[in-house]
Structure 1
Amino acid sequence: MPAAPDLPARPVLSPEVAEALAGGRPVVALESTLLAHGLPRPENRRAADDVEAAVRAGGAVPATIAVLDGVPHVGLTADEVDRVCADPELAKLGVRDLPVAVALGRSGATTVSSTALLAAAAGIDVFATGGLGGVHRESVDTFDESADLTALSRTSLVVVCAGVKSILDVPATLERLESLSVTVVGYRTTSFPGFYVADSGSALDWSVADAAEAARVFAARRELAPGAVVVANPLPPDQQLDPGLHDRVIAGALAAAGEAGVRGKDVTPFVLDHLHRASEGATLAVNVRLVLRNAELAGQIAAELAGLSHR
């Protein structure tokens, strides 16, 4: 019987990320599925640099996360980012997929759920993304619900996002987050953002006025119980997708997915590609804009959280 492979017990940290964590400096985790599956090439490669720069502008060190040849990496080199952005065969890895990729030496981009898991394992408290997964429309028949929700219920970190993806059932997702005891606060708003648009039509009970308040909420949550704090950061109305265009292209994208028989984890990349084409690139521009805003805010929250730890 061949010897079992040496499996990494913990993620491999880049030198910059390892040094920052050892020194108590703020670090922000970034998912790689956005780069591999969420944005078209070559825009994804430019966005990768811009998102990391936005984290630095917020005062933190970026740590893009991916699995390469079976090894979870927290913090990627430029060559590794090139690989993630260029490889069309890169797998999409949620938490359930991580052990298979690690054991079999496969490569893949991490989703919200797996990025949160690996970030927490590395000791990172703040994570920036575009939009969360959630409860899909018609879930009463399909039982289709993102693993992001349960992962956040048991992983202690701040997640800065622009709400959940527009293709989802937003009220049902918020109900599920409440059932899972995930803390959700709006950033300077009590309206839950709708990803491409500033307001999904669903209200929030709580909001924070600045990064310092968000950091204090997470510090309190961490003392009280495991689980995430979701900071919902809407686009300003003058930067959102035109709401009328939004409704039309979302309806068309969902109809196209249904006609094509697309199901499960393949829905999101299919719909995002359809939205990009149907909106003539407008959704792509908004997607990149909201991710950059979330990354900078996450950097600010991480910096405030590091300050709390040093007091």
Structure 2
Amino acid sequence: MKYTYKNAGVDVERGEKFSKKIKETVNLPDWLLKEPTGYAAVLGISKPPVAVTADGIGTKLILHRKYGTWRYAAEDLVGMNYNDLVCVGARPLAFLDYLGVEKISEEHEKFIEELISVLESVGMKLVGGETAEMPDVYRNDWDAVGFAVGILERNIPIDTIKEGDIIIGIPSSGFHSNGWSLIRKILKEENIKPESLPFDLLKGTRIYSEVIDVFDSIKGLAHVTGGGVYRALKRVLRNSGAHISLPRRDFIDWILRYVEFEEAINTFNMGIGMFVIAEKDKLENILSRLESGIVVGKVDCDWRIEYSS
């Protein structure tokens, strides 16, 4: 018997057709230099410096697959990368994706279509990526990871943060893409269906493009991801503390029925997906330029995080 890659589960031709379809869908920007081999994307950027990051959707993808919420899945993948880049003062431009799949299918095409659309909506371009068919690794499952590149517009001066500085919170769209192993466990153990909840549990990650407009006026940005509110703030406040009062949100009220508060603030965004730190005299100007920022606290010598009852 003669063996082939195809009967082992990997169809190279199918993969090439999938890649070609993606390339035909994307309108390539001027700063993407022509590179005929396709081994890598070459960006015509030398100055200013660039910033790079990588992140994935996590186990929330299991629910996106079940419910076919591809737009939300794309928002999660883009948002988790985009929001990290802006925290260092970068304007995100280029995106690469990695799909590890058992077999390329229609759901992957739908996801990529939404991914391209989400990227376009925030001024980014899908400039390359990798789709790997690995049937012995992914069985009735797949994973998506993103890599983002941005131009550094300003070094955010977190070393100038001091006690008394104001902390602004920008609301999240939901749980974003963190804590889902715990959320899925609660859904399973409590026999809860997402569609039975009074809020959209699977809603995609909010992409905080508006913070680029206030780069010139802020001292710090904290994207709330893995490790929750406490870890996010510690990353920028370092040796300082904060007094925070988190506004009530329906999905946070729900999760607190099953999780202790201390566990929640170390796991979830608690309704705030991005924190902005600034001097008090710049507060009015910053709030006028943000879509929905609200004052939630201030930098202090110790820690106190509360949730409005």
TM range (shorter): under 0.3
Structure exhibiting the larger radius of gyration computed from Cα positions = 2
Could you say which structure has the higher strand fraction?
Answer: 2
TM-score by length of 1: 0.28
TM-score by length of 2: 0.28
